[in-house]
Amino acid sequence: MTMLKLKLLGASCAAAFVAAAVMLPQGARADQPVLNLFTWSDYIDPAMVKAFEQQCGCKVVETDYDSNSEMEAKLKAGADSQYDVVVPSSYYVARLEAEGLIQPLDHAAIPNFKNLATKFQNPTYDPGDKYSIPYQWGTTGVGYLKDQIKDPAPSWGLLFNPKVNTTYPFTLMSGSGQDTIGAACAYLGYGFACDTKAAWVAAAKLIKETRARKNFAGFVDGEPERDQLKSKLNSAGMVFNGDVATSYADGSGKDIGFFLPKEGTEIWVDTMAIPAHAPNAKLGLAFINFILDAKEGAALSNFNDYSSPNAASQPMLADNLKAELVSPTPADFKLLHFLPPLSGAKLKLFNAIWTAAKQ
């Protein structure tokens, strides 16, 4: 790291230290600022956490969640005054902003913003990057056991068509419901990014019919579903590409297949945001700037096997991140869609339809 980078990081960390509203977990000194990180499980290298602690003279306390809806529920219950950084997916940013759960970012405190690839700046889900900064990006697809389901057609029909899979147990994604509603919409021809009442109702009807099938094994979110496939507790479900890539890298998921459904599926960006009443927002900004460093951005992707939005990190990425599973081809990109952000009355309607689909 150059002396200039050290000076910039030192200045941001010093400002955060002075402004710290210290919450003291076990092991933290009375004079030590604390960063409370609320993120997806297994989503940052512990070595990176230690590096940030050393450079900022702080303590990082990490709490994990498995879905955006779980994160949102905790913030609404008062955790927006407990955490300094959260990691919502792109389609959730507008929702959290509308609910007053996240605060605008001070871009002057994030000089490494310049490292972001242009295509990830000023996104439609958060114009001007006002409330969020990209962290990682990836896709949602179908994972299946290759030794049980032989060469399936790349279609959502593996989950929704009872004639395609009559025997093997399978799951659908839980969480906020937009992923699963989107998948059902795509299978029915409405498109993955469906956003009308008629499409949602039709998708909910299909989900209820799917739930009634004897081999439906329940609603399970992405990483837990990957783990169930590894353990062969079920045979197919909705998973995130990076979770599958990690299981390939460590050899635990050699029997798992993955495809992007031909009817269309999700491209998502996980972002970094600061809760509305964060106890140490300035330290949160320092952490965001740390993640956007070229070297740290590469270390992040090399650890969790997801794609990096950091242009400066690309030369340092591991070779396995260049595989089609992690880096979709131009043909794959034609299948990928962002989920539409929902808020207000439209969000209320969607939640009612999703709740009905699960009952």
Residue 27: phi, psi to the nearest 5?
A: 100, -10
pLDDT level of residue 73 (50, 70, 90 thresholds): very high
- pLDDT surpassing 90 at residue 31: no
Residue 43 and residue 114 in one domain: yes
Q: What is the mean pLDDT of the chain?
A: 91
What residue type is 200 in one-letter code? W
Q: Is 13 helix (H, G, I), strand (E, B) or coil?
A: helix
Residue 208 and residue 353 in one domain: yes
* Helix, strand and coil in the chain, % to nearest 5: 45, 15, 40
Q: Number of C-alpha atoms within 13 angstroms, CB side, residue 125? A: 25
Residue 57 and residue 125 in one domain: yes
* 212-231 per-position pLDDT tens digit: 999 999 999 878 889 999 99
Strands 170-172 and 216-219: parallel
CA distance readout (Å), 110 to 5, 283, 284: 12, 11, 10
Q: Per-residue pLDDT averaged across 274-301, rounded?
A: 98
Q: Per-residue pLDDT averaged across 109-133, rounded?
A: 96
Residue 347 and residue 302 in one domain: no
What residue type is 291 in one-letter code? I
* Residue indicated by tokens 């050699």: 254
Instruction: Please tell me the predicted confidence (pLDDT) of residue 23.
Output: 45
What residue type is 89 in one-letter code? S
Strands 133-145 and 216-219: unpaired
Residue 81 and residue 176 in one domain: no
Q: Which candidate, 328, 329, 320, 300, places its Cα nearest to that of 312?
A: 300
Helical H segments across 167-213, by residue range: 178-188, 197-211
Domain that holds residue 223: 138-267+328-358
- pLDDT surpassing 80 at residue 184: yes
Q: Could you give the angle at the alpha carbon of 49 between the alpha carbons of 47 and 50, nearest 5°? A: 65
List Cβ neighbours of 244 (8 Å cut-off, separation of 6 or more).
143, 226, 253, 256, 258, 325
- pLDDT surpassing 60 at residue 82: yes
CA distance readout (Å), 208 to 133, 184, 234: 36, 11, 19
Residue 78 and residue 157 in one domain: no
Task: Copy the structure tokens of residue 24.
Answer: 């003291």
- pLDDT surpassing 70 at residue 3: no
The CATH number covering residue 229 comes to: 3.40.190.10
Rounded distance between C-alpha atoms, residue 15 and residue 18, angstroms: 5
- pLDDT surpassing 80 at residue 272: yes
Instruction: Please tell me the predicted confidence (pLDDT) of residue 66.
Output: 86
Q: Per-residue pLDDT averaged across 63-85, rounded?
A: 95
Helical H segments across the chain, by residue range: 3-19, 46-56, 68-76, 90-98, 157-160, 178-188, 197-211, 222-230, 241-249, 281-291, 294-304, 330-333, 344-358
Rounded distance between C-alpha atoms, residue 143 and residue 134, angstroms: 25
Instruction: Please tell me the predicted confidence (pLDDT) of residue 175.
Output: 83
Number of domains in the chain: 2
Element of type H or E holding 256 = strand 256-259
Rounded distance between C-alpha atoms, residue 202 and residue 186, angstroms: 11
Residue 39 and residue 153 in one domain: no
pLDDT level of residue 98 (50, 70, 90 thresholds): very high
Residue 255 and residue 171 in one domain: yes
State the pTM of this model: 0.85
Q: Per-residue pLDDT averaged across 54-58, rounded?
A: 95
Residue 193 and residue 219 in one domain: yes
* 8-24 per-position pLDDT tens digit: 444 456 555 444 434 44
Q: Which candidate, 111, 103, 108, places its Cα nearest to that of 86?
A: 103
Residue 33 and residue 101 in one domain: yes
Long-range contacts of 207-212 (CB under 8 A, 24+ apart): 207/172, 207/180, 207/181, 207/357, 207/358, 208/356, 208/357, 210/159, 210/160, 210/172, 210/184, 211/358
Residue 73 and residue 222 in one domain: no
Q: How far from each other are the two terminal CA atoms of the chain, in whole angstroms?
A: 54
Residue 82 and residue 12 in one domain: yes
Among the ranges given (26-40, 95-109, 147-161, 257-271), the one the predictor scored with the smallest mean pLDDT: 26-40
What residue type is 105 in one-letter code? L
Rounded distance between C-alpha atoms, residue 260 and residue 25, angstroms: 43
The residue that leads in pLDDT, 20 or 271, is: 271
- Could you give the percent of the chain with pLDDT greater than 70? 92
pLDDT level of residue 5 (50, 70, 90 thresholds): very low
* Residue indicated by tokens 């509203």: 21
